[in-house]
Structure 1
């Protein structure tokens, strides 16, 4: 049964989906800048050469298909030759043939040609609306195809083949004699594990604390792992994971005042200021001594000899319910499916999950009814790290993950609060989505800060959200298709979204045509 129906019946708390955007910190930006310079250098050295420009030309001007007349019986009368086309018209038809044969490659070759050899005669015939800025994906695709189809087949170009092969490996593309294999992309990993996401946790909590229901905030911050082994892009920095984000929360005065606790299978930590009080509370709950280890800095390690697993998780959850602990940091392995703490009303998702089951299970942690707050409303935050407009390098991984994640989730429309839909439109209103599209298109007039200001401007209060859900009012279970037309830049022209309406007291549409629910 779709979650909105359970909310309407009063068995789960109403909720809203929100998104916070970040950009890489200076150390990570330096790594990304190096990648940008490397890709530009690769394009100049390989695709701006006569051989590279010749390859781009050949891809945009494929030979015409053999006609029936050319394959006819030699004894048959030869028809008169067709009149020769003007050179410009012949070139236009060649571009059309290229697009028909392999649209993705031809469009990428056209975009790269405009960047590598802007004075080439074909550039005047390439529609700038279709052959837009050469994106990172365009460059990588063309470079890989050029290496396979030209360099690999030329014994004299073996050194250049090795150079291109090694450079593309840094972008997660592995060239072999049999084709292209996509591996782990260091750029995407840098964005997914950016420390900027940890800082975003502080920004989100500050916003929640300053809302009308700030005193009721009980938040859970969920990461993939305790401590990741990949630290690329952050020379000398702490490894990504629950430990790193907890250390940041403990060192910030505003979030440290919330008595944050880190709880994983192997770790139990709190702030130095709250260590004794948390230890005493756990001792009362467990009936056993809790040791506070001496240490340095803003955090302390707690030891509970003989206890672990379920009882310790339940004891810490009890502290969240009592308000002694207002922020809990952990991994999805421990705080995912099965963890029950009805007092939690704010989720900050720092994980990389995007599957239907994992996404819905994680958000289910905030939807339990809270006996102490009858009007409870949950806020579920996704955090995304994007490359800012002033950096030419592209990476769609974070945004694609966000869209996949929200394709599995039902929520109130951000534009029409009387409808329940799936997709990103439930988290971002139309103005914010347009600003996001402009940012992805490298519009210099946009910024991550402006995008977040738009997010904050569109957030409704928890009391408004509770009223928007119209809990208990009659509804009719019915589904309807909604077609939303979006900008064609790097996205599908048409997106089909299932939608349900909650505005009319006798109408509540429930459908799952493209949601996987």
Structure 2
């Protein structure tokens, strides 16, 4: 065993010990995939995994700094006396454990003309395990030299990350999990806060309004598209072109194409319906509808226009070659409107508007307001970092009187704004890879750490109180020195780039972080956020405020793309609620932000947020109380309310209607209608008997009140039983997982809960299962209840109420059951036991395709909306 000299020389944290005890159980399948936030000791846990696995190992890290940390942690935490020598930094000369980088492995891989020699090298050197540190970096092409190596050499793979790349495209996510395996263990943020490895922290969102020119740009952009679509609806040439499309002219011969791309066919029909053209019933039959079905067409929105144009201009272009002049003209119009670029149609304006709002100069004022507030609150204790994407050196020469005119977000614009406001200048500095600026008063302390002759100090162009530090040859410790000055408090506000300070940079004193970055994903966001939530040795009172900037879109009642992107990123952040109720969960919901921003006063929101950010002592208590409510993390899924009106309004309407028409109005009928009916129909009773009289009475009641009662009961069944349905579906799913041996945890230890929240969301949570079992359950439940995509099997409820009230509910059979018919039949058996009478349809033949299309049409109104949300909760 190559690592018998290694042994951890300190006590393990409780969450670490719990993880370590499960290593052997997880490594059985040659995979161990661990998700743990920054500050949890991933490197130390990685070394312990290597020690227990006991195989010759290659450790891969994203940077040289992180690579060197591995060797440092090994020598510091696992060796009592002397040094451990059975390690190497050279992949060409591996030892018991070799520390390298992804870049080095990729370069090593490219050296081999015959890749068989590459695989043979690992076999001959007896390397049997690979550790992938910060595994989210594997989205890059580095994975190519690993995936085949893993397969051919049957290597043990250990993957460590703070954030899996969930928001990448499906192919990258698939590659990531094919190499790393499913997540085996996740160390929760609350456990780290409880143990003192992370400090109590809170996220805050600061809002801004676009500048006038940005508002004008947005309104003009929206109006140009709206006018274009209105003109298109009057354009006889376009209407004729669509009516002559092969999908309409030769529908029967195009069935395979239509079934493989039903959205395209649907978009054509929805457009023609929008111009009041009658759609032939037989075209709807193609989509699986029947004569008795009432078809409600969706509105022809920008989303549907995008689907239509993307197919006409790109995907289906070759099949429409005879219309090339017409399509070329249409493409030109789309390009002039800036809604077609790089073979992508974008009528929603996601890219154009997001670029405008995310980089809005209004955020410069937000940063000044945040830093001013934090400085007033913390004074000399402030350690603030502002991270952004670009340096923007062109603004170095901006004079004080012109600073307010800067219209770009970047390091220099932020520096210019902060130094010209009420914050003391000596507290501010800039640290990037190519630009370092400090106040002159800081030079004296700087000399204590660095030989001053190794640097040139150049007076900053527009403010002589600052100097720009330019290293001479051989000076490469500048980042470390500026970091020390920041830690000491000589610098209290540091402005830098995400690329330099966002990952791997360590400054435990940070207590305020402003994320002025709009490039990147949850991965980079979580890594940046991790800078501020670490504990600081000797500072037991440290808390962290993380600030996120949003510029609202005045043309979008939901706030626009900026808040949409932030909402998605918050799925990766687990934190404490901002309201008086103390709870811990992932997602932006815990910040209690508005759902609709149409009539919201931004000034009020920001003032309230600034006030909350000052209550740092209260923040510590919130974490303590919220952690005390639970013992571990569980997973839940939230199904959003599907009604057109707000839940409370529609719930009251439906309930009142059922009561009114089923009971109240029936009482009125008996009180007033019955005596009158009795008088008028007394002769029927006398001449034809009691039964004839009762039939007449029931007929009259049905004609008077029957339709209203029918509508009310139908609405109640459709919308009023959502949480009960989800509860039954979740039980059917769990029963099937047990029947198919996909769950090993004792059934008595697993608890399912389903609740309906005030806004109508239905939440289903699973507790007591392992991390892998919970993830499998929640992912499968999401497959079942989200809008129909392209499942192999479809399940349809067939009970009496739904048949007679013309309500049809379609659900996807999860992929893990749909791969084989026998597994699907097990699911159907449990579904019938828990949910009720239903049928399963195979969708890969003609009739099944029709049924699938009908199911997808049933969900058309939700095609572009988020209908479910997964979350991690502490309880």
TM-score norm. by structure 1 comes to 0.69
1:157 to 326, 332, 335: 326
Corresponding position: 1:398 with 2:562: yes
| Structure 1 alignment gaps of length 5 or more | 67-97, 230-235, 502-517
SS in 1 for 2:503: coil
SS in 2 for 1:403: helix
Report the equivalent of 2:870: 496
What is the alpha-carbon root mean square deviation over aligned residues?
4.4
The alpha carbon displacement at 1:228 in A equals 9.1
Asked if 2 retains the 8 angstrom alpha-carbon contact of 1:47 and 1:143, the reply is: no
SS in 1 for 2:234: coil
1:262 to 419, 423, 430: 430
Asked if 2 retains the 8 angstrom alpha-carbon contact of 1:165 and 1:174, the reply is: no
**1:326-361 alpha-carbon deviations (Å, 9 max, x no partner):** 110001222122322222101111123554542332
Corresponding position: 1:247 with 2:416: yes
Report the equivalent of 1:35: 221
Corresponding position: 1:446 with 2:610: no
Distance in 2 (alpha carbons) for counterparts of 1:199 and 1:246: 12
Measured at CA, do residues 359 and 105 of structure 1 come closer, stay the same or move farther in structure 2, by a change above 3 Å? Answer: farther
Distance in 2 (alpha carbons) for counterparts of 1:412 and 1:474: 12
SS in 1 for 2:422: helix
Distance in 1 (alpha carbons) for counterparts of 2:328 and 2:627: 72
Measured at CA, do residues 228 and 284 of structure 1 come closer, stay the same or move farther in structure 2, by a change above 3 Å? Answer: closer
1:216 to 381, 390, 401: 381
Distance in 2 (alpha carbons) for counterparts of 1:104 and 1:414: 44
Report the equivalent of 1:378: 544
Report the equivalent of 1:320: 486
Distance in 1 (alpha carbons) for counterparts of 2:467 and 2:426: 17
The alpha carbon displacement at 1:456 in A equals 4.6
Asked if 1 retains the 8 angstrom alpha-carbon contact of 2:190 and 2:627, the reply is: no
**1:373-424 alpha-carbon deviations (Å, 9 max, x no partner):** 42111011121233113x79x9954334313321111111334653221111
The alpha carbon displacement at 1:295 in A equals 2.6
Asked if 2 retains the 8 angstrom alpha-carbon contact of 1:250 and 1:299, the reply is: no
Greater alpha carbon shift after TM alignment, 300-309 vs 328-337: 300-309
Measured at CA, do residues 182 and 22 of structure 1 come closer, stay the same or move farther in structure 2, by a change above 3 Å? Answer: closer
SS in 2 for 1:497: strand
Structure with max Cα Rg: 2
Measured at CA, do residues 142 and 218 of structure 1 come closer, stay the same or move farther in structure 2, by a change above 3 Å? Answer: same
Measured at CA, do residues 28 and 180 of structure 1 come closer, stay the same or move farther in structure 2, by a change above 3 Å? Answer: closer
Q: Which has the higher helix share?
A: 2
The alpha carbon displacement at 1:370 in A equals 2.9
The alpha carbon displacement at 1:264 in A equals 0.9
Asked if 1 retains the 8 angstrom alpha-carbon contact of 2:190 and 2:874, the reply is: no
Report the equivalent of 2:587: 423
Report the equivalent of 1:510: none
**1:73-128 alpha-carbon deviations (Å, 9 max, x no partner):** xxxxxxxxxxxxxxxxxxxxxxxxx99984698589859976xx5x7789xx9979
Distance in 2 (alpha carbons) for counterparts of 1:127 and 1:448: 38
Asked if 2 retains the 8 angstrom alpha-carbon contact of 1:421 and 1:497, the reply is: yes
Distance in 1 (alpha carbons) for counterparts of 2:347 and 2:554: 28
Asked if 2 retains the 8 angstrom alpha-carbon contact of 1:172 and 1:184, the reply is: no
Distance in 2 (alpha carbons) for counterparts of 1:308 and 1:438: 56
Distance in 2 (alpha carbons) for counterparts of 1:410 and 1:192: 24
**1:418-468 alpha-carbon deviations (Å, 9 max, x no partner):** 322111123x21xx2xx2x322xxx3x235445535645665711111011
SS in 1 for 2:565: helix
Distance in 2 (alpha carbons) for counterparts of 1:210 and 1:382: 19
Alignment size in residue pairs: 434
Measured at CA, do residues 152 and 420 of structure 1 come closer, stay the same or move farther in structure 2, by a change above 3 Å? Answer: farther
Distance in 1 (alpha carbons) for counterparts of 2:513 and 2:366: 13
The alpha carbon displacement at 1:64 in A equals 12
Report the equivalent of 1:480: 634
Task: Please list, as runs of the form range in 1=range in 2, the aligned pairs for 1:346-365 lying within 5 A after superposition.
Answer: 346-352=512-518, 354-365=520-531
Asked if 2 retains the 8 angstrom alpha-carbon contact of 1:292 and 1:301, the reply is: yes
Corresponding position: 1:8 with 2:174: no
The alpha carbon displacement at 1:162 in A equals 3.9
Corresponding position: 1:278 with 2:442: yes
1:340 to 483, 503, 506: 506
TM-score norm. by structure 2 comes to 0.43
Report the equivalent of 1:71: none
Report the equivalent of 2:617: 463
The alpha carbon displacement at 1:208 in A equals 2.4
Asked if 2 retains the 8 angstrom alpha-carbon contact of 1:152 and 1:161, the reply is: no
The alpha carbon displacement at 1:217 in A equals 2.2
Measured at CA, do residues 162 and 410 of structure 1 come closer, stay the same or move farther in structure 2, by a change above 3 Å? Answer: closer
Asked if 1 retains the 8 angstrom alpha-carbon contact of 2:359 and 2:409, the reply is: yes
**1:224-249 alpha-carbon deviations (Å, 9 max, x no partner):** 232399xxxxxx95654212222222
Distance in 1 (alpha carbons) for counterparts of 2:476 and 2:348: 40
Greater alpha carbon shift after TM alignment, 399-408 vs 287-296: 287-296
SS in 2 for 1:185: helix
Distance in 2 (alpha carbons) for counterparts of 1:310 and 1:462: 37
Distance in 2 (alpha carbons) for counterparts of 1:105 and 1:65: 10
Measured at CA, do residues 63 and 456 of structure 1 come closer, stay the same or move farther in structure 2, by a change above 3 Å? Answer: farther
SS in 1 for 2:547: strand
Larger RCO (CA under 8 A, 6+ residues apart): 1
1:408 to 563, 566, 572: 572
Distance in 1 (alpha carbons) for counterparts of 2:264 and 2:575: 34
Distance in 1 (alpha carbons) for counterparts of 2:332 and 2:272: 20
Measured at CA, do residues 131 and 161 of structure 1 come closer, stay the same or move farther in structure 2, by a change above 3 Å? Answer: closer
Measured at CA, do residues 477 and 372 of structure 1 come closer, stay the same or move farther in structure 2, by a change above 3 Å? Answer: closer
The alpha carbon displacement at 1:473 in A equals 7.7
